[in-house]
Amino acid sequence: MPGRSTWYVRRYDSNVQSYIKRSTGQRTCEEAKAWVLNNLQQVFSAELQQKGGGNYSVTRQLSAHMDYLELRHKAGEISESTLTGYHKCARHWLKWFAGNNIKKVGQLDNDLFKRYGLNRITQDKMSPNTTNFEIIYIRMWISWLNDEGIIRRVIRVPSVRKAVENRTSTAPFLNDDLKIIKKTIREWVESDDKKENFGNKSVSKYNKRLFQLFIQLLEESGARQHEIWNRTWRDVCVGETLTDRKRIINEISIPQKAKRGARKTTFRGESLIRMKELHRSMCDNPSDSDYIFRSQQTNTLIDISTFARYWSVIRDKCNLDYKLHTFRSHRITQLIMGGIEPQLVARNLGLSLKQIEATYLRFSPADHFNKLVQQDLPVDKELRKLM
């Protein structure tokens, strides 16, 4: 490359891109050309150095794959939450490849991934669920590389299995843990605002009360957090049953970008009515266009990480280690044990029957539709009709 103080020799094949880089030490075009001609033997005898990977670098191909997933998301094939998870996995694999000095797609092989799952759990202390999600992503990426013709060989990444005791454990909330959680939240809400704080900022009474209703809504609806978080009051319908037993019936419209697509989640409970009352009594200029989780002063959406921090406080006070997603597992288990058909539960809460059978039916007795169970947990005919 005359005219520069350095020149490059590049050699290509179908899988790798190698570079030989060396300064000519010359400043003019003619001097650089003369130097190259006089030193050809030195150039071709120089030792190859692996640099990046060009079109076959793992960084470039991971980025190209994420662009492809973005297009699938825009087409409605992938939910927003799933896409966010894929972004997180892509960032993880970029660091992992760099840490293992993997720069090119040509360096991928079965030995590289042979013990990835086990090492991720034993050395990095990651959960089986997180590890398997990372494995699902890298398998998908490798499959995409095959479809694009970038690699032409099978690369296997073994997944990990959960311990038997984790697959056959009892219901999500054990014993009286849910009662303890509710009592702790109630005491926290009623406590002095100045005693409970994060950094130098105290938690307002409004935020505490809204968080309490958020937990109640998760328990009543069984919806995923991200599905209800950015909903406004226009996406919510609240009414009463027409039977003698007056019950408050709620319906939340879940957007198309959610898992399993758009749907309406129906459930009983008072959380949304109490939330509406809270807005009217403590918020400035409440209206139907407000987010249900709006800030107190303005109609802006509260950052969901704020409630995640509050939940950490509650868990520490209770000395328990449940996740917010446990409320969903608890609600689905209640519905299944209450005799609601799995098909209705799946449609109402955005699940597949395979998920229910593999994940939630393990909490039920082997024959939970027998007479004994039906006597203890009668079919909830009212909710069944609503769903």
| Start-to-end CA span in the chain (Å) | 71
Q: What is the per-residue pLDDT across 354-371, written as a single tens digit (0 to 9) for each?
A: 888 777 766 555 554 443
At the topology level, CATH places domain 57-162 in: DNA polymerase; domain 1 (1.10.150)
Residue 309: both structure tokens together: 């921090």
Residue 259: both structure tokens together: 């898992």
Of the pLDDT bands very low, low, confident and very high (cuts 50, 70, 90), residue 141 is very high
Q: Quote the mean pLDDT of the chain.
A: 80
Longest dimension (CA), the chain: 101
- Cα 158 from Cα 370, distance rounded (Å): 39
pLDDT of residue 355: 80
- Cα 360 from Cα 366, distance rounded (Å): 12
Cβ atoms 283, 102 nearer than 8 A: no
* Residue spans per domain, the chain: 6-51, 57-162, 177-386
Mean pLDDT over 167-193 rounds to: 79
17 pLDDT above the threshold of 80: no
Mean pLDDT over 294-303 rounds to: 91
Of the pLDDT bands very low, low, confident and very high (cuts 50, 70, 90), residue 244 is low
- Cα 290 from Cα 293, distance rounded (Å): 8
Q: What is the per-residue pLDDT across 56-83, written as a single tens digit (0 to 9) for each?
A: 889 999 999 999 999 998 888 888 888 8
% of the chain beyond a pLDDT of 70: 76
Q: Is residue 294 classed as helix, strand or coil in its secondary structure?
A: strand
- Residue 145's nearest CA partner among 58, 50, 51 is 58
- Cα 244 from Cα 386, distance rounded (Å): 15
- Least confident interval from 49-53, 73-77, 203-207, 264-268: 49-53
State the DSSP code for 358. I
Amino acid in position 67: D
CATH code of domain 177-386: 1.10.443.10
Kind of pairing between the strands at 6-12 and 17-23: antiparallel
Mean pLDDT over 282-310 rounds to: 91
Residue owning tokens 């009463």: 240
51 pLDDT above the threshold of 60: no
Q: What is the per-residue pLDDT across 93-113, written as a single tens digit (0 to 9) for each?
A: 999 998 898 988 988 999 999
317 pLDDT above the threshold of 80: yes
pLDDT of residue 356: 80
% of the chain beyond a pLDDT of 90: 32
